[in-house]
Amino acid sequence: MKESAVIRSRLLFQTAILEAGSTTIPLGGSVTLSCSVEPSAGWKYRWFRKTSDTFVEFSTNNEENRDITVRQGGIYRCNGVRGNPAFTSNPSRDVTIEITFSNKVVVTRRPNWPQMFSGETITLTCEVQGGETTEWTYEWKRDGLVVDWINGKDSTFIVSESSSGDYMYKPRAKLTKGPTTIPVGGSVTLSCSVEPSAGWKYRWFRKTSDTSEVQIRTNNGENRYITVAQGGIYRCEGVRGNPAFTSNPSRDVTIKITFSNKVVVTRRPNWPEMFSGETITLTCEVQGGETTEWTYEWKRPGLATHRTNSKDWTFIVSQSSSGDYMCQCKLRDDRYSSTQRSNAITLSVSGKPKAQLDRNNAELPPGGRVTLTCTVNSLSSFSYTSSSSSAWKYVWYRGENCSELLTGEEAVFPSNGEINVSEEGLHWCRGKRGQPVYYTILSDPISIDEAS
């Protein structure tokens, strides 16, 4: 293929690019359109604007015509031309230019009474500031719907009850909340407003995510301010006139009430260390909220929330129960109103302990006694004896298979974990505490022999 043919083949794929500047301009201003073909050397440009169903070329005084100014909206395209004979690039894509005039539009009315009555005549006037000499077509809308197209700026009509409404816009109510941290039994103030504010009364609505919306009834005639003691999703709207004209409703506002009362967690038993299999009761109390019906939510890192309608949570612990526990209370019929979380209470749980049995003498002297001592040692760094605050009591046995009970199950004997025995044979012990009773693992046996 000859070199000139190759060049012409490549040029067949050259496409013009049309770019538009800002299309928001003051009345009488212009929009700049720019056309380019890459590579750009030697190109001049032709411009087209679509009217009706066809494109019509228009000329300018710019020799190259790369940049032009236009004052009309429409569908535009361009292409590049160069060489002799003329070679034309592919046309640009069609670009729709919609010009928005930045001039302010003002609507006035005559008469400007705050309220009109059925049968009176009113004139609405639409003016484009800075556009007095331009020929306009005026589009009137009421409540978002087109009601009239006219060539004059004045629209005169006789009002009726069906004419109620706002022209060009409909106001929206605004809901404002006050502080939402209150004591139990307190209230939160909500306010509603519509601008301009003259003549409005207000209606209030509340819903939760689980229920449908319910209108709130109050004794306040205007209802601009209301007090509520429940959280939820609130909205309001303004009403005025006769027949009633209703504003757009406010946006939904979620009210989450936080009660400032302190939440305290206690535990029974209050031993510094618990053992796997023991029973504990955690109690959550809202100080100053004793008569309120609460749902109690317990949280511990790594576990799902535990909920109960009772302030007491009783459970059997295991080693995995170790950790920090916190309680938060919510109104039973209102999950949007809650206390802050309590301070953490820490549980330390070890594996089931084994009793340890010791003696002061391996042989039983004739007519004498041997003192046995029973203690409970955990697998952790804690060590408890009969004198500790962990309240261990001890049960004593004798025989090959613990067949003989030396002390009654209910006896507190002796309190120091010691017992004196005067018979030979195998002896055992174990600790017990709490309610329900929790037993340690049985100690290893100790053999008492008579002295030879």
> pLDDT averaged over the chain?
83
- Peptide linkage before 39 cis (omega within 30 of 0): yes
Q: Name the more confident of 441 and 24.
A: 441
- Residue 353's φ and ψ, nearest 5 degrees, are -85, 165
**Non-local CB neighbours of 61 within 8 Å, separated by 6+ positions:** none
- Peptide linkage before 445 cis (omega within 30 of 0): no
Quick one: which of 358, 378, 365, 366 has its CA closest to 419?
A: 358
pLDDT in tens, 258-283: 999 999 999 999 988 999 999 999 99
Q: Among 9-23, 224-238, 289-303, which stretch is predicted with the lowest mean pLDDT?
A: 9-23
pLDDT at 365: 84
Between CA 334 and CA 294 the distance in angstroms is 9
pLDDT at 450: 81
Between CA 277 and CA 358 the distance in angstroms is 26
Percent of the chain at pLDDT > 90 equals 42
**Non-local CB neighbours of 53 within 8 Å, separated by 6+ positions:** none
Q: Among 16-25, 280-289, 413-422, which stretch is predicted with the lowest mean pLDDT?
A: 413-422
Average pLDDT over residues 277-301: 94
pLDDT at 6: 38
Neighbours of 416 (CB within 10 A): 11
pLDDT at 144: 66
Structure tokens at 280: 């504990």
Between CA 387 and CA 374 the distance in angstroms is 11
Residue 452 predicted with pLDDT over 80? no
pLDDT at 177: 92
Residue 222 predicted with pLDDT over 90? no
pLDDT in tens, 75-119: 899 999 998 998 999 999 988 888 888 788 888 887 664 655 444
Structure tokens at 203: 């209606």
pLDDT at 412: 43
Average pLDDT over residues 243-260: 90
Between CA 375 and CA 26 the distance in angstroms is 96
Strand partners, 97: 74
**Non-local CB neighbours of 95 within 8 Å, separated by 6+ positions:** 18, 20, 33, 75, 76, 77
- The span from the first CA to the last CA of the chain, in angstroms, equals 128
Residue 386 pLDDT class (50, 70, 90 cuts)? very low
pLDDT in tens, 28-65: 888 999 999 988 788 999 999 987 778 888 876 667 88
Between CA 298 and CA 323 the distance in angstroms is 12
Name residue, tokens 């120091």. Answer: 416
CB 167 within 8 A of CB 142: yes
CB 123 within 8 A of CB 155: yes
Residue 362 pLDDT class (50, 70, 90 cuts)? confident
Residue 308 pLDDT class (50, 70, 90 cuts)? very high
pLDDT at 415: 55
pLDDT at 379: 54
pLDDT in tens, 129-185: 887 777 788 888 776 666 677 777 788 776 666 666 544 466 899 999 989 999 999
Between CA 126 and CA 36 the distance in angstroms is 42
Average pLDDT over residues 408-425: 69
Whole-prediction pTM: 0.57
Between CA 132 and CA 26 the distance in angstroms is 13
